[in-house]
Amino acid sequence: MCTKGIHVVFFVSSCFRGPVMIMEPLLTKYVREPNCFTLDFYLKHEGYEGLKKALALTPDQVVEMVKASGLRGRGGAGFPTGMKWQFVDKRSPNPRYIACNADESEPGTFKDHLLMERNPHLLIEGCAIACHAIGARVAYVYIRGEFFHVQRVLERAIDEAYRAGFLGRNVFGSGFDCDVYIHRGAGAYEAGEETALLESLEGKRAQPRNKPPFPAVIGLYNCPTAVNNVETLANVPLILRNGAEWFAALGPEKNGGPKLFCISGHVKRPGVYEASMTMTLRELIEGCAGGVREGRTLKAVIPGGSSVPMLMPDQLDAQASFDGVQKAGSLLGSAGLIVLDDTACMVWLAENLLHFYRHESCGKCTPCREGTDWLHKILRRIERGEGHMRDLDLLSSISGSIGGKTLCAFGDAAITPVLTTLKHFRHEYEAHIREGRCTLPASWRARHAAGAR
Amino acid sequence: MSFHPKMAYDASFHKSGRTLTEAGEPFAYTPENTARFESIVVRYPADRRRSAVLPALYLVQYQQGHVTANAMRYVADLLGITAADVEDVVSYYTMFHTKPVGTFVINVCRTLPCALNGAERVTEEICGKLGIKPGETDPSGTFTVVEVECLGACDRAPVVMVNDAWHECLSPEDASKLLDDLRARGEAALSGCHHVVESRRL
Ligand SMILES: Cc1cc2nc3c(=O)[nH]c(=O)nc-3n(C[C@H](O)[C@H](O)[C@H](O)COP(=O)(O)O)c2cc1C
Ligand code: SF4
Ligand code: FES
């Protein structure tokens, strides 16, 4: 039966070329231990020490510490977490909230899944520290509906934490009250967008709000709210336990701390890898994930979940940090590396991803709602071999009518697969149109509906 | 004018044929579900009961398999909102069914990383075996097959979710066997698959 595709978490010490920073995993160190998700296990490994230290500090001191650590949001945008907390309106008479973004639906991303399933107390501790830092009493964990098995692990962990007094009234006798509640989503990619998440928490459709005002000023129930990704919050206890300088030194400048990389697609060992952001993309793909399968060559890599531009094999020596990948012409996003070998047809790929975006568009603004449907229809036509050369200009033109003209970043994300494949692989589109079919060998297309039977 | 000069103004994709009028028994929670609902709704501020609409709808769906118009009205009354508000939510989120579905809803992930690893052949195998197309329920009412977008476990592609249980690294042969198992043993065939995959490596 299957031997591939299991979460293999490597101790990234093997260097592929040249010396790389050797780092012990911090977030995922114990994920392969049988009882790693229990409170007992967690308490034996510095569990809730960070919260204890945080409660001995003032909220402002905690925020300063997180700022100094260089922690940047792991949900996609890479915004400094300490700054986000600082922006939370402290003068507002309303209560404040933490909303933990556990909606993880970006194709190619599965790190929060692993963290919550195998190390749930780390997230709970992070939520409690974040509540202390911004002066909130309640944190809602918005988990995607499909992660029901993960939710059960998390629920059990929360019960344990309440019973042990790490949540609830008067935590550690400090007078700090904190509740963590799970809110289950119901299948909507767009619920991952921070303001759409808040709408969904309020019991409405997951459709984004106009920004500004940002959630830090007017968020959940019109109260100041900080929306943070699971991995972001999971890093916070580490900062409190070991100090901001220690955390900052784990990665390159302004990219502090450990990072989880999700590697999927055409690699020998897909999985979640924890590494410092001083690594290069090539080291991750070839060193950690084993590179592409025997006899195949690397064609392209999507480095940050399906929404970011592709990188070609000669661009992979870029540092796998937020700034490094941006310098190379793409974005680190959610650090979901989708690796493609030479069997991948780029027209098919764009069609597949636009099916996703067409399906997940929330429908609030016209360019995205109608445009993604259009793009998908045209791509499907080309993929079927019924395209015309003029369709290629139409694709760019429609993309131009979406990009920068939508309410949320989804619009820009949706056109990226089209523009990036057109930019690097225009010849594949042209060949499809000229020949009226895919020009890759038929045996490579075994995954295609037509080729399988 | 539409947003693009070459675009005809038709939005057929977004039309819905459902109405909120329905004959038949009014819906009500079982006492257990009422208790569950009461324990959930207190997590939100007292003047924000609407926040509990998703959990309330999940309880409906677990109780009767799908969400009927009568149930939407019941939930609306519970939360103090209009039935239209509830329908707005139900029609948006993909995990709520508004029509009866099979005992087992087989959700096959079709997004890129899974597709690169042969998800389409898994769908074909399942659909071929049941003689239906994605989105349909087999004549015995046991299985409904749905193609879904990324489930968030792409390293274990292809991923299939049956009701709430996950089956990962599922080859077409495994999928075929899973159908047989589900027919023979019912829900027992679902247990622990997720962890089985992991323990093979642990
Ligand atoms: C269309 C869209 C989908 C998103 N999906 C997610 C998601 O699934 N998970 C997530 O953590 N952030 C997601 N984000 C990013 C969030 O909007 C937000 O930036 C993030 O939760 C902030 O947390 P961070 O500062 O900890 O990264 C998404 C953004 C957009 C525009
Ligand atoms: S860009 Fe798309 S997903 Fe974002 S608000 Fe507009 S329609 Fe919704
Ligand atoms: S693509 Fe199938 S789980 Fe992500």
Walk me through the domains of chain B, giving residue ranges and CATH numbers.
31-92 (1.10.10), 104-201 (3.40.30.10)
- Residues A324-353 have a mean pLDDT of 95
Least confident of A34-38, A365-369, B40-44: A34-38
- The kind and range of the H/E element at B184 are helix B172-185
Q: What is the DSSP string of B3-66?
A: SSTT-----GGG-----S---SPPP---HHHHHHHHHHHTTS-TT-GGGGHHHHHHHHHHHHSS
State the distance from the centre of ligand 1 to the C-alpha of A409, rounded, in angstroms. 10
Residue B101 has pLDDT above 60, yes or no: yes
d(CA A329, CA A418): 16
Percent of chain A with pLDDT over 70: 93
Token pair 């080859």: residue:
B171
pLDDT tens figures, A110-126: 999 999 999 999 999 99
- At A19 the pLDDT is 34
Tokens of A438: 């895919």
Residue A245 confidence class, pLDDT cut points 50, 70, 90: very high
Least confident of A336-340, A361-365, A397-401, B198-202: B198-202
Report CA-CA distances (Å) from A138 to A42, A63, A226. 23, 18, 11
Binned at pLDDT 50, 70 and 90, residue A194 comes out as very high
Q: DSSP secondary-structure letter at B151?
A: -
pLDDT band, residue A58 (cuts 50/70/90): very high
What is the pLDDT confidence band of residue B147, given thresholds at 50, 70 and 90?
very high
Q: Do the beta carbons of residue A314 and residue A282 sit within 8 Å?
A: no
Q: What angle do CA A188, A193, A198 make, to 5 degrees?
A: 90
**What pLDDT does A209 receive?**
95
Q: Which amino acid is residue A440, in one-letter code?
A: L
Residue-level pLDDT at B189: 85
Per-residue pLDDT of A59-81, as tens digits, reads 999 999 999 999 999 999 899 99
Alpha-carbon separation of residue B201 from A3, A55, A205, A283 (angstroms):
8, 39, 40, 23
User: CB-based burial of residue A319 (10 Å sphere; 0-12 exposed, 13-18 middle, 19+ buried)?
Assistant: buried
Tokens of A95: 């209560």
Return the SS3 of B107: strand
Kind of pairing between the strands at A225-229 and B160-162: unpaired
To the nearest whole Å, the CA of A68 is away from the closest chain B CA by 32
DSSP H or E run through B99: none
What's the pLDDT band for B10 if we cut at 50, 70, 90? low
Residues A255-265 have pLDDT tens digits of: 999 999 999 99
Contact assessment for residue A371 and residue A398, using Cβ atoms and an 8 Å cutoff = yes
For the segment A104-161, what is each residue's pLDDT rounded down to a tens digit?
A: 999 999 999 999 999 999 999 999 999 999 999 999 999 999 999 999 999 999 999 9
Instruction: Confirm or reject: Cβ of B33 under 6 Å from ligand 3.
Output: no
Q: Which residues does chain B have within 8 Å of residue A31's beta carbon, measured at their own beta carbons? A: none
CA proximity to B193, closest of B174, B167, B175, B157: B167
Q: For residue B21, what pLDDT is reported?
A: 66
- Give the Å distance between the CA of B117 and the centre of ligand 1: 26
- Which band of pLDDT confidence, cut at 50, 70 and 90, is reported for residue A34? confident
pLDDT at position B193: 57
pLDDT confidence of residue B198: 54
In angstroms, the CA A322 to CA B174 distance is: 39
With an 8 Å Cβ cutoff, is B105 touching chain A?
no
Do the beta carbons of residue A103 and residue A197 sit within 8 Å? yes
CB-based burial of residue B110 (10 Å sphere; 0-12 exposed, 13-18 middle, 19+ buried)? buried
Helical axes A366-383 vs A410-435, angle rounded to 10°: 20
Interface of B with A in 45-84 (CB under 8 A): 45, 48, 50-55, 57-58, 79, 81
Place of tokens 């519970």: B78
Beta-carbon pairs below 8 A across chains A and B: 211
Q: Do A149 and B164 touch (CB under 8 A)?
A: yes
Q: Which residues contact B129 (CB under 8 A, 6 or more apart)?
A: B176, B179
Of B164, B20, B53, nearest in space to A206 by CA: B53
State pLDDT tens for residues A264-285.
Answer: 999 999 999 999 999 999 999 9
Q: Averaged over B71-81, what is the pLDDT?
A: 95
pLDDT band (50, 70, 90) for residue B4: confident
Give the ipTM: 0.91
CA of B172 to the centre of ligand 3 (A): 16
Q: Which residues, other chains included, contact A197 with Cβ-Cβ below 8 Å and sequence gap of 6+?
A: A99, A101, A103, A142, A191, A206, A227
- Parallel, antiparallel, or unpaired: how do β-strands B160-162 and B104-109 relate? antiparallel
A167 or A293: which leads in pLDDT: A167
A contact test, residue of B105, B114, B154 with most A CBs within 10 A: B154
Subunit contact A149:B45, Cβ cutoff 8 A: no
Query: What is the overall mean pLDDT for chain B?
Result: 87
For residue B19, what pLDDT is reported? 57
Q: Which residues pair with B166 in a beta bridge?
A: B161
Ligand 3 pocket test, candidate residues B107, B108, B114, most atoms within 8 A of CB: B114
